[in-house]
């Protein structure tokens, strides 16, 4: 981390930045603080302890969803007026004008009569997800043997890609190239993910989504579960596998300009943005 901080500080020192915006990057807020640049940091998972201890304390503003309890953030030095909370999911803001590309399904030869399930493996490389969770492989094996399903897997690493392919499951698809994942999610019938962003994108796009995440749930996921927009999965046989219609979807769209204004609030009052 020291070398990254040194290199970032050397790069930014003479560029006359007015503001630094970060999503979970403590290196950026630490560098901005050292250089006297105001900064806003944002995140939506509060249990990354070391990252937030460093990043929140260095930031001018901490902008997070209001579903994260304030007492969980106070331990990082994030209290009002430094702390600002916004309603909903960040995905509801940046996906507000998103419309899926209908050609994505055809480009992979997906049978429109089969249930399309998009799967995302656990974040094996993340520090906060240290323990292996057998639920995802069980789910993959269950779906991969059903001839009524396309199980479309979006691996995180080459090792995960090789592992999924080695199973040789007849209903599993592992893409060879980059995928328009947001369109794929929007056009799918179901999402099963052990991660965070894909779960929340599915919820924002009105797609049924199950989580197999094995770590400690954050406030955002807890709220989505209370709302019925995210379902914890304990048994693959409990998956509700059916074709989804347009009437099944309920999207939430929020104005991204409102979130931007919260981030820009780190600027001194006499500074004009842009």
Among the listed residues 257, 243, 274, 217, the one whose alpha carbon sits nearest the alpha carbon of residue 114:
243
pLDDT in tens, the chain (274 residues): 788 899 999 999 999 999 999 998 999 999 999 999 999 999 999 999 999 999 999 999 999 999 999 999 999 999 999 999 999 999 999 999 999 999 998 899 999 999 999 999 887 655 444 455 788 889 999 999 999 999 999 998 888 888 899 999 999 999 988 899 999 999 999 999 987 899 999 999 999 999 988 788 999 999 999 999 999 999 999 999 999 876 556 889 999 999 999 999 999 986 655 5
**Can you tell me the distance from the alpha carbon of 253 to that of 30, in angstroms, rounded to the nearest whole number?**
33
Burial class of residue 147 in the structure, from the number of CB atoms within 10 Å of its CB (0-12 exposed, 13-18 middle, 19+ buried): exposed
The H-or-E segment that residue 150 falls in is strand 149-153
Contacts of 271 (CB under 8 A, 6+ apart): 18
pTM for the full predicted model: 0.89
Alpha-carbon torsion, ordered 151, 108, 123, 207, to 10 deg: -70
């Amino acid at each position: 981390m020291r070398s990254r901080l040194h290199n970032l500080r050397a790069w930014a020192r003479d560029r006359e930045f007015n503001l630094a915006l970060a999503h979970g990057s403590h290196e950026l807020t630490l560098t901005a603080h050292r250089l006297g640049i105001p900064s806003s940091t944002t995140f939506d998972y509060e249990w990354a302890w070391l990252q937030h201890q460093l990043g929140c304390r260095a930031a001018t503003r901490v902008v997070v969803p209001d579903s994260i309890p304030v007492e969980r953030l106070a331990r990082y030095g994030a209290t009002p007026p430094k702390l600002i909370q916004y309603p909903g999911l960040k995905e509801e803001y940046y996906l507000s004008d998103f419309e899926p590309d209908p050609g994505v399904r055809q480009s992979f030869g997906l049978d429109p009569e089969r249930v399309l399930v998009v799967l995302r493996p656990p974040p094996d490389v993340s520090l906060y997800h240290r323990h292996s969770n057998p639920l995802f492989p069980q789910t993959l094996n269950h779906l991969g043997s059903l001839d009524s399903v396309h199980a479309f897997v979006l691996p995180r690493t080459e090792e995960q890609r090789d592992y999924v392919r080695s199973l040789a499951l007849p209903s599993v698809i592992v893409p060879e190239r980059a995928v328009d994942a947001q369109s794929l999610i929007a056009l799918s019938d179901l999402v099963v993910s052990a991660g965070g962003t894909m779960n929340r994108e599915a919820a924002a796009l009105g797609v049924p989504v199950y989580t197999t995440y094995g770590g400690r749930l954050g406030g955002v996921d807890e709220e989505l579960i209370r709302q019925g927009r995210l379902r914890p999965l304990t048994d693959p046989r409990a998956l509700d596998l059916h074709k989804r219609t347009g009437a099944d979807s309920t999207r939430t769209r929020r104005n991204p300009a409102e979130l931007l204004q919260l981030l820009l609030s780190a600027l001194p009052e006499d500074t004009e943005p842009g």
